[in-house]
Structure 1
Amino acid sequence: MAKLAPTSIKYIVKGRIKAKGVIEKPDVIGAVFGQTEGLLGSDLDLRELQQAGKIGRIEVKITSKDGTSEGEITIPSALDAAETSLIAATLETIERIGPCAAKIVLEMVEDTRSEKRKYVVDKARDILKGLMDTGESVSEISESIKESVRTHEISTYKGMPCGPDMEDSEEVIIVEGRADILNLLRYSIRNTVALEGTSIPQAIVDLTKEKVSTLFVDGDRGGQLISKELFQKGEVDFVATAPEGKEVEDLTKKEVFTSLRSKLSAEQYKTSMSKQFRERKKPQAEKFERSFKSTTKVSAADKERFKKTLEELVGTRAACIYSAENELLGKVPVTELQNVLKTMENPHTIIFDGKVDFRLNSLAKRKGVKFLIGMERENFNSSIAILSRKDLE
């Protein structure tokens, strides 16, 4: 007799047995084979099907009580749905089991694959949900690839980041940092070079004398200060400014090209700045100064720690740089602070014996510094929490 592998079972026929008298398992199996023989022809003869491995082992459970017997019969099938239905229907033709009148009532034909289907559907749903939650869209993948290419396109010119076409172009756009170059590359502006710091390198000064130069600065006071210094050292031809309060690295394509189209000649820019300065009235200036005081809340514990460290640094002309976990990353002379800061990873707090000026603030902002504490401070707006000795009293 061929055996039916569990993995081959498609359906399970289940029936309920009732007999008027005491019967046993062999009586039931004998009745099933005997009374269904030839009923559906040789192709669906139970003995032949079982030998061919199309019908599995018939299971019977019988209990007898008070002269009657009840139980259940189970027949596993590897036949198709139609053939299995015929086999199931033949069970209800049985009228006697052993010496007793009996009846088999079909309870159900269970599709064993339905549970597998349910599992597959549920599992597929979970997999799809995971893919939808964590997977990147085509546009995100495309942008990621483009971003990687743009990053590798950034070259260097005498130690400064620059766009791939800067050296070959007759015109150059001077920006403040590497992030500005990356943003302009998004919009196919490739003739850029970055100051990458707070002081104007001599190489930039030389470039302004060799090429038609446009200074493209952030729309804040820092941009004005950089413009002023470059005017003193170099020969800038034009100045483009980001919208007020915005940085070049965050501009959209429309904002970038609008700013560049609206650039002013160096003389026009100087005149514009002079006019703004003359129009300032004293009450307005006082209001402006007050508005730049830090509004960042500092915990009492941090304030006490900053104050203690600052007191220890009085007269030392030194600077302490801390991590976010308040670990001392380094203690350096104030004269070397900016150079050292450029090389550090994830500085969080800087406390030093000196005055916080815009140049140091600009560099600290680019390095991700959160707190900048000095003996004194200049008045300017900043996303960094800037505190002076007076603020800590």
Structure 2
Amino acid sequence: MEESDTTKYVIHAHISAEGVVERPDVVGAVFGQTEGLLGADLDLRELQKTGRIGRIEVNITSKYGKSSGNILIPSSLDKVETSILAAALETIDRVGPCISKISVTKIEDVRSSKRQQIIERAKHILTAMFDETVPESQELTEAVKSAVRVEEVTFIDNLPAGPDVLDSDAIIVVEGRADVLNLLRAGIKNAIAVEGTNVPQLVAELSKKKTVTVFTDSDRGGDLILKELLQVADVDYIARPPEGKSVEDLTQKEIIKALRSKVPVEQVVEVPQRRRNKQQMQQQEAARAEQNGKHEAQQREYQREYQRPERPERERGETPRRKSLRRMEERQERREPPKEQEQQPEARKPEPREAGEFAEIMKDLAGTLSAKLLDANKNVLQKVAVRDLANVLKETNGEVKSVVFDGVITQRMLDIAAEKNLEYLVGVKMGSIVKQPANVKVITTE
């Protein structure tokens, strides 16, 4: 069987048919009966064209009017997608005119097999090609091992974690132990795994004291873990790997790029109420500190005026104390009156016609953290992830007139929309807005 350099897994399946069938019949049934079953992203023909699925091998024989054999399908997809394809094979119930049954026997990890080959070959090289009489060999081996050894994963309340999680001011929350190991290989030592959707209390407590970046896979499981973390922990940033890849499979360069591209949580989803309360408390404390500082400055100024030596004003009937009080009153009168607190603009109530134009699009985008770019006729030009929306809009050439996205409308998004002369900006809710451009119509679904 031919295998591409990127093959990760091989699906092994057994087929039995109530009649005589041949290899072309089986291959045709595999492509035909799975077409459209799993959507465009997992269509076998498209996957084979792009090289993510290799050549399907079928070995089948017929005897006494019945046929049986094996099917081998090489895959370079990740574990989840490969498992879905394997399960789809078992839905095939007919090959040609014959009733048939396909059952998956195993999924072989090609990389594991290669690693076993490497181990066996390394044993042979070690025993046959190295001279054991060289006294420094063992010392050199230990020196090399210690130089390249990846630090072991530690455990905090039975959670896999890097050695710097408790001491660092920031932590990275990942899904499992394999993700923590991969980040350690890249030199990142402050990652901790939640090990499933039931987020431990330890992670919630750490999030109150540290800056938290959530780094989960770009799949359904990663989305569920992210949503739960947003409900029980104080999340500051969100980072995601490239589409179709898991955190445990990323290279060091890909890990660093993904973490550098992290976005504040406010740009993707609405900040939980407890986080807003925390920010409001911090703002109130800062305001009180500023007010106390002004009061202390006034007291110091008063003391300086009061302690100055007497001047000839006394001869004119004005004592140093009265002069000091008069100056303080004059300074108070010259001060500008405090500005009224700016009211945060509210999203314009959409007209029925406008709401109808975007309602169906928002319904399709609900829960996907995605955005659609529309032209002047409300035709979809492009669909992108919300985390990439700002960069994509900056590169548009004026054809985009409306943006509909599953996220919170922020001041940054409004500024970019005004700069690109957008007519409509449609989101879930309004974030913290200081000023709203007059040329952009803002519509929210809530």
User: What's the TM-score bracket when you normalise by the shorter of the two chains?
Assistant: 0.3 to 0.5
TM-score using structure 2 length: 0.30
TM-score using structure 1 length: 0.33
Larger radius of gyration: 1
